[in-house]
Structure 1
Amino acid sequence: MLTTNPQLIIPDEQKNNQVVEIKNLDFYFRSNNIEKQTLFDINLTLKKGEVVIMKGPSGSGKTTLLTLMGALRTANHGSLKVFGKELIQANNNLLIETRRNIGYIFQAHNLLKSLTARQNVQMSMELHPEFSAKEVKERSIAMLQAVGLGDRINYYPENLSGGQKQRVAIARALVSHPKMVLADEPTAALDSKSGRDVVEIMQKLAKEQGCTILIVTHDDRILDVAERIIELEDGKLK
């Protein structure tokens, strides 16, 4: 499997193409004054527009690494740059600014039951005050149409299938045209056809928008969508 060689000298023009640049990253969970290391000397880059799949056994640290890249938690050791900004010991303002440019898709679609498909998609636009209410509504409808849910715009989650709910989650992640999409086991709760459908939709739409996609998965059926596969085991990249 391909992994980043930390000793490799990268030309400046290639560095400008890097969305994520991780060097010698360690991560420790702390609880009741007990410290446990879960990530060890991670070196990895993600480039603009590429689709990367991260595999590994349960408990290997995949979700932890994904949440660090997504500015959902912070580390203290090593270097983790996202969109060229250092996130190690970053302040809250920088973390929020970074999250504005990232779309998140999780195994549990996390839709609000009291909101329609369109309203759920619109929620991700709340961090983007530059868009008017009209633009937010129009973009949300257009994205739902793009994922094949043009006839389900005003449906509530209870009236959608599992695959349709995940399509809403994809639309929500992509509607703001993020620079990167992070997907954690997006097909785990879906049957084979639905899983394939949502991954191909995610791949197509994200590619059209020119953003990077990182998918954490145990699903060997979708490995062919990736340009690169990385493996994490016991907190270490193989």
Structure 2
Amino acid sequence: MLTPLLDQAALASAQNAVEPVVKAEGVNHYFGEGSLRKQILFDISFALQPGEIVLLTGPSGSGKTTLLTLLGALRSVQEGSLRVLGQELRGAQPSTLIRIRRQVGYIFQAHNLLRSLTAAQNVRMALELHNGLSPQEAQQRAEAMLAAVGLGDRVHYYPEQLSGGQKQRVAIARALVSHPKLVLADEPTAALDSKSGREVVTLMEKLAREQGCTILMVTHDNRILDIADRVLHMEDGRLESQGVA
């Protein structure tokens, strides 16, 4: 009679043991040197669980983008502990940082598409870091991802031939085509009207749920708070709240 209870306890323990996608503990960050040194982030501690969609809000200059660049292994961790996808980033070797970047998708306020490349070519760029794919396979994946974001008939269009919302859809396709475990989005709706912005975040939510990835999205747009599992709020470099959406 004890076996089922033991099995249940083991299952509960295994579920609790799932490592967060992101775990930050006491992260501080500074810009400048000597007398010009200024602290930007103060004792940042939080975790992101697998499959979560979390919004990061707060006024301009509060440190949101700096935090995002640390999470994406685009900036060196100076103080504290920051684990992303099971790897400690503080003091990590360049090869480790490159490996982390390959598993992270990035979406920015400016879509950052290369004007000289078609939509499909822009999306394919995200696959060039991944070995083992032939050019034909990469093209097929890019076209399939563009179809998933509603641009199946725009694969050969250049950015100047696309609307703002369509460009951001290409950026989403580029971020998700490699099936990353973590997506970092910095104000992805800021340059869009309300209808296009809503369509973009709804699409991000749908695709992320399907792929099972975690999203951390910086936003000032209160109209999209309902898509989140949680909302984090930053003020003056500090996480002030970690409430449920």
Partner SS, residue 154 of structure 1: coil
Normalised by the size of structure 2, how large is the TM-score? 0.90
Moved more, 26-35 or 37-46: 26-35
Percent identical across equivalent pairs? Answer: 63
Residue of 91, 114, 117 corresponding to 1:115: 117
* Shift in CA distance, 12/148, structure 1 to aligned 2, threshold 3 Å: same
RMSD over aligned Cα, in angstroms? Answer: 1.2
* Shift in CA distance, 63/237, structure 1 to aligned 2, threshold 3 Å: same
Partner SS, residue 124 of structure 1: helix
Q: List aligned pairs for 1:125-164, cutoff 5 A.
A: 125-164=127-166
C-alpha contact (below 8 Å) 2:19/2:86 kept by paired residues: no
Moved more, 16-25 or 155-164: 16-25
Q: Which 4+ stretches in 1 moved above 6 angstroms?
A: none
Partner SS, residue 32 of structure 2: strand
Partner SS, residue 71 of structure 1: coil
Partner SS, residue 157 of structure 2: coil
Task: Tell me the amino acid that sits aligned with residue 112 of structure 1.
Answer: L
Aligned equivalents of 2:123, 2:194: Cα separation in 1: 25
Partner SS, residue 18 of structure 1: coil
Aligned equivalents of 2:191, 2:132: Cα separation in 1: 35
Residue of 195, 220, 234 corresponding to 1:218: 220
Aligned equivalents of 1:180, 1:123: Cα separation in 2: 18
Aligned equivalents of 1:33, 1:146: Cα separation in 2: 51
Normalised by the size of structure 1, how large is the TM-score? 0.93
Deviations 1:168-206 (A, max 9, x none): 000000000000100000000000000000101111101
* Shift in CA distance, 150/71, structure 1 to aligned 2, threshold 3 Å: same
Structure 1: 5+ residue stretches without partners:
1-10
- Residue 173 of structure 1: aligned partner: 175
- Residue 100 of structure 1: aligned partner: 102
Aligned equivalents of 2:151, 2:17: Cα separation in 1: 38
Aligned equivalents of 1:202, 1:135: Cα separation in 2: 23
Aligned equivalents of 1:118, 1:180: Cα separation in 2: 22
Larger C-alpha radius of gyration, 1 or 2?
A: 2
Aligned equivalents of 1:15, 1:109: Cα separation in 2: 37
User: Which one has the bigger helix percentage?
Assistant: 2
Report deviation, 1:33: 6.4
Aligned equivalents of 1:62, 1:113: Cα separation in 2: 28
- Residue 8 of structure 1: aligned partner: none
Structure 2: 5+ residue stretches without partners:
1-12, 241-245
- Residue 41 of structure 2: aligned partner: 39
Task: Tell me the amino acid that sits aligned with residue 121 of structure 1.
Answer: V
Deviations 1:59-114 (A, max 9, x none): 00000001100111012211000011100122211111000000000000000000
Deviations 1:25-75 (A, max 9, x none): 111112476311100001110000010000000000000001100111012
